[in-house]
Structure 1
């Protein structure tokens, strides 16, 4: 492993390189090395790198407490780690993430991957059978009536009320992810006669940043018109370049971008203030609400997928379409209960 690959590893996972392997080909400069390291580091997002570092640190601490080497890892040690964490109630997804990170570090270092061993394969299979996969607590989709109820309770005479209403209505109308909403810049919004055209520079399904466009039409009601709500926020925010949605200190609007957690906390708080149950209301409730409402309205699957930019249509079918069909056609309605 050369020092170039350390950019892809959690900081504590770096092993001493073999002198012969650490030599660069003749003609490569320090600037070339810096560029390559930068590109390798960019292969994963900052949030992914932080998650990998956290998961790797958990594995290292467990190994240190047992007096076991974390890198390279013994397959049986990994088996013990997985079974212990499963016994402690960790979800299958958590165990899978541990395996993903441990595999990544070993392969990047050019070391035999313990996750590929037959013992680890059998243990993982057995844990799935005995412990199962805990059902995901999906975000509750918000309906148009609930959106109307939420924004109707917001004081839109204040900067923060104007901003929050714009985030909620634009998030619902666009079906964008929360990370995409907070990553929008003023320059990413283009006004058209029919509404708005939003440019998403990078997203979960576009890691390489080719860019995607999302359209938002004018609303039919003044209270819930996403275009009017965004225009009202832009008038408060001003025309300075930078993030579209920014932080507000007291009543002073800054140019500091929002973190990805703000829309979720804000939406839940606004929903509770409007008299709704905040259980399972997250930022994803806007995106899920768009898909569910569109499906109820009879919008074809391909049009919903084009708006939400789902590459895997089974997600739309299994999470939004089939539950609606099940409720519409269930025989339990005819039992006379």
Structure 2
């Protein structure tokens, strides 16, 4: 318990630890101590105790579309110089793709360039995101379609194309410099990135959806990457899913959101926001569950912000 009398750990945290214990014991060919009657009864008791105390599960605040728009606008307006522009393109792509595709943090950081493709006739109506092994289907590939956005700042196509332009130029320059035994391939990559940023004068509030798809030396490379001290992308992917909420919080604070609001944003906020916005817009719960790849539709219902108890209820007809 904490000093204010609240539980020190959420039930979901305890369940995650139990799952990890079970995984390691099973991998070692041993029976998991978690799968015992005493543990099951203890967890049931914890849930009952918290329900009686009115302590429900804490959920990440959903990242709504207008909040996302405010954040990416601030990202663009603060991007002075090529280094800041590279970081702005990366962070905007990360936030917009995560929101539009409703991706989990682990799915987002695992994306390769080859996992994003144009699809749908006529006229390439969608960006198709391939997920290679998700929580729902760890041994299968799943696909999520992202349509073009009305707002250029939050359009998935624009965000992807602006970031791919940087990656493609950097990767090609480094590959050519390496093949020619250049003493500093990273410097060649930097010059290429600087040229891209200098030539791309299209403002962020203008669509760039019709641009040609950048050509890569190899497409089986990480899409979202860390940036080094010189502002250049690494060749490897972001490896920690925790980077996603770190970027979201930092960029929200930069956009001027108050600290209490920033602290409510977590790694699940973009995914939760996509579900919340879609349900509020009248999308069927089955379609939202399909988009988020939920195994249990009850999980999807948890994002429904409507108030089913308000309006025409049985209590309205009791003659009181």
Which TM class, normalised by the smaller chain length?
A: 0.5 to 0.7
5+ residue gaps, structure 1: 1-87, 332-337
Distance apart, 1:137 and its partner CA: 1.7
| 3-state DSSP of counterpart to 1:219 | coil
TM-score, normalization: structure 1? 0.63
Give the structure 2 partner of residue 140 of structure 1.
Answer: 61
Give the structure 2 partner of residue 312 of structure 1.
Answer: 296
Is the alpha carbon distance of 1:327 and 1:143 closer, same or farther for their aligned partners in structure 2, counting shifts above 3 Å?
Answer: farther
Is contact 2:60-2:269 (8 Å) kept?
A: yes
Is 1:247 aligned to residue 226 of structure 2?
A: yes
| 3-state DSSP of counterpart to 1:246 | coil
Once residues 161 and 26 of structure 2 are traced to their aligned partners in structure 1, the CA distance between those partners, rounded to angstroms, is 50
Give the structure 1 partner of residue 104 of structure 2.
Answer: 177
Count, aligned residues:
242
Give the structure 2 partner of residue 164 of structure 1.
Answer: 91
Choose from 140, 160, 163 the match for 1:233.
163
Is contact 2:115-2:131 (8 Å) kept?
A: yes
Distance apart, 1:90 and its partner CA: 5.0
Distance apart, 1:263 and its partner CA: 1.3
CA RMSD of aligned residues (A): 3.1
Once residues 112 and 144 of structure 1 are traced to their aligned partners in structure 2, the CA distance between those partners, rounded to angstroms, is 46
Is contact 1:102-1:115 (8 Å) kept?
A: yes
Is 1:218 aligned to residue 148 of structure 2?
A: yes
Q: Deviations over 1:10-39 (max 9, x none)?
A: xxxxxxxxxxxxxxxxxxxxxxxxxxxxxx
Is the alpha carbon distance of 1:330 and 1:143 closer, same or farther for their aligned partners in structure 2, counting shifts above 3 Å?
Answer: farther
Is the alpha carbon distance of 1:99 and 1:221 closer, same or farther for their aligned partners in structure 2, counting shifts above 3 Å?
Answer: closer
Q: Which moved more, 1:294-303 or 1:155-164?
A: 155-164
Once residues 327 and 273 of structure 1 are traced to their aligned partners in structure 2, the CA distance between those partners, rounded to angstroms, is 38
Give the structure 1 partner of residue 182 of structure 2.
Answer: none
Distance apart, 1:330 and its partner CA: 9.7
Q: Which has the larger radius of gyration?
A: 1
Distance apart, 1:254 and its partner CA: 2.1
Once residues 207 and 126 of structure 1 are traced to their aligned partners in structure 2, the CA distance between those partners, rounded to angstroms, is 32
Is 1:186 aligned to residue 113 of structure 2?
A: yes
- Runs of 4+ in structure 1 off by over 2 angstroms are 88-136, 325-331
5+ residue gaps, structure 2: 1-6, 169-215, 314-320
Q: Please show how residues 5-24 of structure 1 align to structure 2 within 5 Å.
A: none
Q: Please show how residues 1-337 of structure 1 align to structure 2 within 5 Å.
A: 89=8, 91-93=10-12, 123-130=42-49, 135-155=56-76, 158-192=85-119, 193-208=124-139, 210-238=140-168, 239=216, 240-241=218-219, 242-249=221-228, 250-259=230-239, 260-276=241-257, 277-317=261-301, 319-321=302-304, 323-326=305-308, 329=311
Once residues 111 and 254 of structure 1 are traced to their aligned partners in structure 2, the CA distance between those partners, rounded to angstroms, is 40
Is contact 1:137-1:280 (8 Å) kept?
A: no
TM-score, normalization: structure 2? 0.66
Q: Deviations over 1:298-324 (max 9, x none)?
A: 11112111111111101111x122x32
Once residues 227 and 29 of structure 2 are traced to their aligned partners in structure 1, the CA distance between those partners, rounded to angstroms, is 48
Distance apart, 1:93 and its partner CA: 4.8
Once residues 281 and 269 of structure 2 are traced to their aligned partners in structure 1, the CA distance between those partners, rounded to angstroms, is 18
Once residues 135 and 235 of structure 1 are traced to their aligned partners in structure 2, the CA distance between those partners, rounded to angstroms, is 45
Is the alpha carbon distance of 1:190 and 1:296 closer, same or farther for their aligned partners in structure 2, counting shifts above 3 Å?
Answer: same
Higher helix share: 1
Is the alpha carbon distance of 1:97 and 1:306 closer, same or farther for their aligned partners in structure 2, counting shifts above 3 Å?
Answer: closer
Q: Which moved more, 1:250-259 or 1:139-148?
A: 250-259
